[in-house]
């Protein structure tokens, strides 16, 4: 699977103040991760240097180079911001969600394929993997070490499910 060079990190949802700051809905791990990203891009390739990142409730506010007035910022409302993959800090052992979606989910011991990872949600502290089985059923699996044996973004997500977890999946 080809990995994207640029990843979506935020959406500009509004302006903030009169000096061109923008309010962001963050799509990365949060403000601490976004604060480490020094440049972002629009889909058309326009590049901006990021500065003065602050948290405002569940959102972030920042300044973008060349955006000096509220009128400049209004033009960017509803635009998606991208960052180069190598500019986004990723803790050791972590993976970008976009690299997981579409991977086969295999039994760590036997190599049997249970299905395909089709979604990753983060409803609380723990990620939940949605696995779509060949018959269309969806199974939700907590992404905890007890179940996720290893992840190889070039091959598969290897799991160690408890007996009965994939009821009927043995025919795959």
* pLDDT value of residue 57: 77
The answer, as to whether pTM is greater than 0.85, is no
Q: DSSP label at 2?
A: P
Q: Which CATH number does the domain housing residue 49 bear?
A: 2.40.30.60
Compute the C-alpha angle 105/27/46, nearest 5°. Answer: 115
Same domain, 77 and 26: yes
Are the beta carbons of 142 and 123 closer than 8 angstroms?
no
Residues with Cβ < 8 Å from 70, sequence gap 6 or more?
15, 17, 18, 19, 20
* pLDDT value of residue 124: 72
Identify the domain boundary among 31, 56, 87.
Answer: 87
* pLDDT value of residue 168: 58
* pLDDT value of residue 141: 94
Identify the domain boundary among 30, 53, 87.
Answer: 87
Q: DSSP label at 79?
A: P
Phi, psi of 60 (to 5 degrees): -125, 155
Structural domain tally of the chain?
2
In a domain, 165, yes or no: yes
Same domain, 71 and 107: no
Same domain, 133 and 67: no
Distance CA 82, CA 41 (A): 5
Encode 58-97: b = buried (16+ Cβ within 10 Å), e = exposed: ebbbbbbeebeeeeebeebeebebbbeeebbeeeeeeeee
| Structural domain for 76, as ranges | 6-87
3-state secondary structure of 44: coil
Distance CA 149, CA 20 (A): 47
Q: Which residue intervals of 75-115 are DSSP H helices? A: 97-100
In a domain, 36, yes or no: yes
* pLDDT value of residue 1: 53
* pLDDT value of residue 125: 77
Identify the domain boundary among 36, 64, 87.
Answer: 87
Q: Which CATH number does the domain housing residue 153 bear?
A: 3.90.50.10
Distance CA 61, CA 12 (A): 9
State both tokens at 3.
């990995």
Same domain, 19 and 43: yes
Distance CA 8, CA 83 (A): 7
In a domain, 1, yes or no: no
pLDDT tens string for the chain (172 positions)?
A: 567 899 999 999 999 999 999 999 998 877 888 999 999 999 999 999 999 999 887 799 999 999 999 999 999 999 999 999 999 988 887 888 899 999 999 999 999 999 999 999 987 778 899 999 999 999 999 999 999 999 999 999 999 998 888 875 444 3
């Amino acid at each position: 699977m080809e990995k994207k060079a640029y990843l979506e990190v935020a959406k500009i949802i509004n302006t903030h103040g009169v000096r061109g700051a923008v309010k962001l809905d963050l799509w990365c791990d949060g403000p601490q991760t976004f604060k480490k990203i020094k440049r972002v891009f629009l889909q058309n390739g326009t590049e901006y240097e990021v500065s003065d990142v602050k948290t405002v409730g569940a959102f972030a506010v920042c300044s973008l180079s060349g955006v000096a007035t509220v009128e400049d910022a209004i033009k960017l409302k509803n635009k998606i911001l991208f960052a180069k993959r190598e500019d986004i800090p990723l803790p050791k052992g972590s993976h970008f969600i976009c690299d997981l979606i579409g991977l086969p989910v295999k039994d760590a011991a036997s190599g049997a394929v249970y299905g395909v990872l089709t979604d990753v949600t983060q409803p609380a502290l723990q990620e939940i993997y949605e696995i779509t089985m060949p018959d269309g059923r969806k199974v939700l699996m907590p992404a905890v070490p007890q179940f996720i044996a290893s992840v190889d973004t070039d091959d598969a997500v290897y799991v160690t499910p408890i007996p009965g977890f994939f009821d009927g999946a043995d025919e795959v």
